Amino acid sequence: MLTVTGCPSPNVGQPFCLSPLMSASLYCHIVFLFADSLGENTKVLPGLPQPPTITHQSPKEYIMDPRENIIIHCDAKGKPHPSFSWTRNGTHFDVEQDPNVIMRPHSGTLVVDLSRARPENFEGVFQCTARNKYGSAVSNNIVIRQSKSPLWSKEKFKPIVVQEGVSLVLPCRPPAGLPPPIIFWMDNNFQKLPQSKRVSQSLNGDLYFSNVRREDSRNDYICYARFTHTQTIQQKQPITVKVLNPDAINDTMADYYNDTELLNEAPVDERKPTFLIPSGHSSAKMVLRGHVLEMECIAEGLPTPEVSWTKVSGDLPGRRASFLHFNKTLRIVNVSESDAGDYRCTARNQLGSAQHTISVAVKAAPYWISGPPKNLVLAPGESGVLTCRASGTPKPSIMWSRNGGPIENSPKDISRKVEDDTIIFTDVQTDSSAVYQCNISNPYGYLLSNAFVNVLSEPPRVLTPANKLYQVIENRPALMDCSSFGSPIPKITWFKDSRASTLDGDPYILHDNGTLEIQVAQAQHKGKYTCVATNMLGIYENHVYLETKEPTHIIKLPDDKVVQRGRSVLFECKVKHDKDLFPSLIWLKDDEELPDDERFIVEFDSLSITDVSERDAGTYTCIVNTTLDHDSATAELTVVEPTPAPAVLHGRPDPPTDLELTDQKKRSVQLTWIPGEEHNSPIEEFVIQYEDSLHRRGHWHDLARVPGTKTTAHLKLSPHVYYTFRVLARNAVGLSEPSSPSRMYKTDPAAPDQNPKDVRGSGTEHNNLVITWQPLSGLQSNGPGLHYKVSWRQKRPGSDWTTVTVANNSRFTVSGTPTFSPYEIKVQAVNDHGDGPEPAVALGYSGEDLPLSAPTNVRATVVNSTLAELHWDPVPLHLIRGHVQGYKVYYWRRHNLHKHNPDHMEKRILTFSGNHSHGMLPGLHPFSHYSFNVRVFNKKGDGPPSTAQQFKTPEGEPGPPVSLSVTDPSLDSLTLEWSPPHEHNGHITGYDLKYQPGNTQTSHPVAWSPRRRPINKARPASPFANVSSSVEEDGALISWEYWGPEKNVYVEYIADNSEDEEEWQKELVNGSQNVKLKGLKGGLSYRVRVVAQGHHEQPLHSEELFVTVPAVTSRQVDIATQGWFIGLMCAIALLILVLLIICFIQRNKGGKYPVKEKEDAHTDPEFQPMKDDDCTFVEYSDNEDHKPLKGSRTPSNGTVKRDDSDDSLVDYGEGGDGQFNEDGSFIGQYSGKSSSRDNAEGQESSGAPSPINAMNSLNSFV
């Protein structure tokens, strides 16, 4: 017999299962090797033959949709892959002959294209056969039918008129469809009609009214049928229902009733219930096992009855039974034989009750008792059994087939014997391989199953992965698998380590499937185990390994807590576990996850809750999990109201106690402790300190700090240290006393982890190299015997490393090196336990020497009178013989070109840091002759100077005259005297003299003097230039130019005749380059200078400037600018203006005239003359009263019209008609515009646009 043994236990999780094939033995089928007849889509081991197995097929009933293609599934597996064929209605169906049908590649699935074919042509019974050389498997009979959704028959319903209170049934009678439709009632607005215990829909779709009411009247009772397969909905013609109150019926409605159906004309009274359906006192119903049973009782009556259900012969199935449609329907799902019997429905109201009994019979289509027959894999000469055991009501019949044909017609096989539902195989041979079909049927259905017999000869093989590692917890069972495959059945034996004897006695248990079990695993059981599988065709070995681990325990359980609201609480959960397992810890509250609240703080071994509230009360569970085991512990939290407390005294915490070291490893340890009394101030943090008894006994160092809510710290350690730990607690008051020291914990020595830092190489002499480094501390040494490997080599191709060992020092000197040569350097830490890591290479240089060469091609370019740009070619690096620090420019002023005699030859130095080839030389004296040279310098010193070069600066602006004084001042002249400037900065060609009056800011050039050459003394270079002054009425303005680095600049001044030099007055300038000196006394001369105070011992001064403040002299008085004169002139002008106004008024007074005379004046064409000299009108006379004014003209019709430019107060009046004032004068033209602009009002009605004309007009109001 071929089988697979050693199925692993369920906790291992391998894809194997135990399967009993014979009572004498247990063996395991590989799920991915041979699938059962239900058709699991699994994979076959390569190279093993297998008869066909159906893996996927369509259901027995297939309702096709004409709008979609037909897909009939049939998939199978086997080795070799099977071929497929089909029958239709019992005869061969040739797929290739029908162009509308295709078969999918490597499958038997048919696809029928209905776009070019009639659906009814493919209705029938289809069956698929999958075959290869080892047998044939067949599918179920698949019945193909077309879905149907027939139209509703057209019928016209008369309105139904009923009396209120009677019962009513509205029929639906939908057309028969495939599958049957779903029925529901709606109105015209597609709203479902409301249903209740009075109005409900029956299972056949009719709408039942136990009694009708007036509100049931409507004309849109519509029954709808929804055909799910075709997704169509059809509706019945609307039904009209009219519910009438008998008191409202009169003879006038007789005509209406002629066209209606009037039901129950007699008066309706209250009545006891009677059943509308089912009829009679009893009925019968049959249902199939596993189906759904639905029974309904709908009663009529008034008041509306209520329906209840009972089972006469027992109780209703609680979980499988439900009541629908307001208790009118009893529904039982997954019906079994126990549901057969009598069921009684009862309808009750206040007037009585009615009962109906339904007898239920349960029939059963065939169903498996112990599952379908299993595939057999046998070896030649072995035996086996195929069992096809099923049940049903009535009892089904069994028919066997072989490879799709009746077994009676198959070739005779002496190893096969059929006995009812069993086939017995004895001493099978290779040609006994076949697929057997078991068909069990009765009037209500059938079961068809395929099971193959596969006869194979295979050597053993072990399917458990090689070198698999099993990990178990000590004192718990250990199961090691040896899943094997072979034909005949392999024999399994186990060995441990040296294979001295087989493992088949205490404490080992060998299971029939090859699994080796140790019921109580101990540390001595760990090691290497060998599984050997043997049969007549060969032998196979496999090795597995067993490790035992320490169990996981919670060593400190969380305590029950009683906490006041608003306070904090801490639950601890300390765990001890195996060092190779990594636990994970979770907290639960009331067996659920912790709330998502930042007040809950989860650490590795604790849970803290801040600001506790009543909702936090409950059960808290600490669960620790590893890959092999777990442990848990719980604690209760009780929250109480806070109580007033007396005055609290705060103090420093007590020192922690009970220091314990756990989880000890080479480089780490876990330290736990118990906090001391807090003294009413919560502990904020713990400070962990250590003492190294080996290297620095008596010195305590801070190692770690942890929050005050934790009592555990995981400490990282260094090798070769004798640690002693202590813990201090800190709160708001202060730090506690140290705890008692822990026991000593010694770490093993190890090779250094690091090398010295800050490795450098430099020379102290021109022929040596000094290598220095930062030595390792005692903690960093990691072990005894610390020393250093110092290696160096010249940085050039082919150089070899030279290495020396240095102990108790941090420097080494290499002698005899070439001057300033690059070296590669490395320093490695070594102790008695090995070398440190490979060190990094540092770059250093041997000692420096003075440079050998000077810069070449030195030249100067003069930029302006005080600035020159210098250029040179840098010295080659190999001639500098050191790190170039920069270049120095030595320069000196040979003489002033103006005097042609040498100055003091003081040399100055300007330094350019870095490897430069040019630079700017500032602060030069104009009109001077300079010499300079350039030198390179390194750390050792300056190199030789370059060849001296000269340059000349051009003329610059001369300095100010040394002094300026005023002599012989008078009312119209004064005499100026000055001294030549100290710094000529060139040839003096003349002087510009400027002056300005005391009350103006304008300067005027006065004089120019011929060239002269005053004597000038040499002055040192100064950062100031162009210092000048100008005297104004409110002070002297001092200006200058400045390029120095100092920021503290101020102006000093002193009277020229002062004998005390300490009386210099200071005026700060605040960063500007000018300042006004106020408060100077007139008639005095002052010495003024600008000072820069910096880091120098002596401040830097500008050249002194002489400023003379003129004395106050009398000035001629300009009468035009005097205030009294201006006031007098204004008064005279105002008086003249008043007199003129009075004159005009007096001239016009009494000039009144009647309207009649004004109208007569319109015919006078003459113009009133106007004086040209003063633009005033002449006086009126009697014979000129009617003449028009100058500036007006008289047309031929006698109407005076104004020019376009004329203006008058008439245009700005508000009235319309003219008016007379008290003396009869006409003032209409001034009170408002006339209705006609063509009618002039006379000589005073218009005039030239002038203020005087306006004044004359206003005269009429005076």
Cβ neighbours, 10 Å, residue 1002: 8
pTM of the model: 0.46
Strand locations in 426-537 (E): 434-442, 445-455, 458-462, 468-473, 478-480, 484-487, 491-496, 508-510, 516-518, 527-535
Buried residues in 202-221 as b, exposed as e (16+ CB within 10 A): beebbbbbbbbeeebeeeeb
* Alpha-helix runs per DSSP H in 474-560: none
Do the Cβ atoms of 438 and 407 come closer than 8 Å? no
> Distance between alpha carbon 450 and the CA centroid of its chain, in Å?
57
Which residues, in sequence order, are CB contacts of 282 under 8 Å at separation 6+? 356, 357, 358, 359
For 529, 988, 1043, the CA distances from 867, given in Å and listed in that order, are 96, 21, 12
Q: What is the pLDDT of residues 631-644, one digit of tens each?
A: 999 999 999 988 77
Q: What is the pLDDT of residues 957-971, one digit of tens each?
A: 888 888 888 877 777
Nearest to 919 by CA among 927, 910, 928, 931: 910
Q: And the tokens for 1088?
A: 């003024």
Q: What is the pLDDT of residues 438-454, one digit of tens each?
A: 999 999 999 999 999 99
Cβ neighbours, 10 Å, residue 903: 17
**How high is the mean pLDDT of the chain?**
81
The rounded distance, in Å, linking the Cα atoms of 706 and 893 is: 73
Q: How far separated are the first and last CA of the chain, in Å rounded?
A: 152
Q: Does 955 score more than 50 pLDDT?
A: yes
* Alpha-helix runs per DSSP H in 689-805: 778-781
Lowest-pLDDT choice from 576-585, 925-934, 986-995: 986-995
Do the Cβ atoms of 435 and 454 come closer than 8 Å? no
The rounded distance, in Å, linking the Cα atoms of 869 and 877 is: 24
Q: Is the peptide bond before 303 cis (omega within 30 degrees of 0)?
A: yes
The rounded distance, in Å, linking the Cα atoms of 642 and 898 is: 101
The rounded distance, in Å, linking the Cα atoms of 1042 and 564 is: 77
Q: Does 1019 score more than 80 pLDDT?
A: no
User: Going by DSSP bridges, is the β-strand pair 618-625/584-589 parallel, antiparallel, or unpaired?
Assistant: antiparallel
Q: Does 104 score more than 70 pLDDT?
A: yes
Average pLDDT score over residue span 674-684: 91
* Neighbouring C-alpha atoms within 13 Å toward the C-beta of 268: 22
Of residues 896 and 1163, more confidence is placed in 896
Cβ neighbours, 10 Å, residue 832: 12
Q: How confident is the model at residue 1061 (pLDDT cuts 50, 70, 90)?
A: low
Rounded to the nearest 10 degrees, the angle between the axes of helix 1251-1258 and helix 1123-1148 is 50
Rounded to 10 degrees, what is the CA torsion of 859, 863, 864, 867?
-70
Q: What is the DSSP string of 208-235?
A: EESS--GGG-EEEEEEEEEETTTTEEEE
Q: How confident is the model at residue 672 (pLDDT cuts 50, 70, 90)?
A: very high
The confidence score (pLDDT) of residue 895 equals 76
Q: How confident is the model at residue 1012 (pLDDT cuts 50, 70, 90)?
A: very low
The confidence score (pLDDT) of residue 151 equals 76
Lowest-pLDDT choice from 166-175, 185-194, 762-771, 1152-1161: 1152-1161
Q: What is the pLDDT of residues 1229-1257, one digit of tens each?
A: 333 333 333 433 343 333 333 333 433 33
What are φ and ψ of residue 994, in 5° steps? -120, 150
Average pLDDT score over residue span 400-410: 90
The rounded distance, in Å, linking the Cα atoms of 379 and 455 is: 5
Q: What is the pLDDT of residues 593-610, one digit of tens each?
A: 999 999 999 988 899 999
The confidence score (pLDDT) of residue 150 equals 78
Average pLDDT score over residue span 408-430: 89
Q: What is the pLDDT of residues 841-855, one digit of tens each?
A: 999 999 999 999 999
Q: What is the pLDDT of residues 1175-1188, one digit of tens each?
A: 333 333 344 333 33
The rounded distance, in Å, linking the Cα atoms of 802 and 48 is: 69
The rounded distance, in Å, linking the Cα atoms of 906 and 891 is: 9
Of residues 870 and 1107, more confidence is placed in 870
Q: Does 866 score more than 60 pLDDT?
A: yes
Most confident of the following: 101-105, 426-430, 993-997: 101-105
Q: How confident is the model at residue 1081 (pLDDT cuts 50, 70, 90)?
A: confident
Q: Does 616 score more than 70 pLDDT?
A: yes
The residue type at 962: V
Average pLDDT score over residue span 1065-1090: 82
The confidence score (pLDDT) of residue 1096 equals 57
The confidence score (pLDDT) of residue 1118 equals 57
Helix (H) or strand (E) holding 981: strand 975-981
Q: How confident is the model at residue 749 (pLDDT cuts 50, 70, 90)?
A: very high
The confidence score (pLDDT) of residue 46 equals 62
The confidence score (pLDDT) of residue 689 equals 95
The confidence score (pLDDT) of residue 1168 equals 39
Q: Does 1223 score more than 60 pLDDT?
A: no
The rounded distance, in Å, linking the Cα atoms of 5 and 458 is: 14
Q: Does 41 score more than 50 pLDDT?
A: no
- Beta bridge partners, 577, equal none
The confidence score (pLDDT) of residue 1253 equals 40
Q: How confident is the model at residue 335 (pLDDT cuts 50, 70, 90)?
A: very high
Lowest-pLDDT choice from 205-209, 327-331, 1216-1220: 1216-1220
Q: What is the DSSP string of 296-361?
A: E-EEEEESPPEEEEEETTS---TTTEEEETTTTEEEE-S--GGG-EEEEEEEEETTEEEEEEEEEE
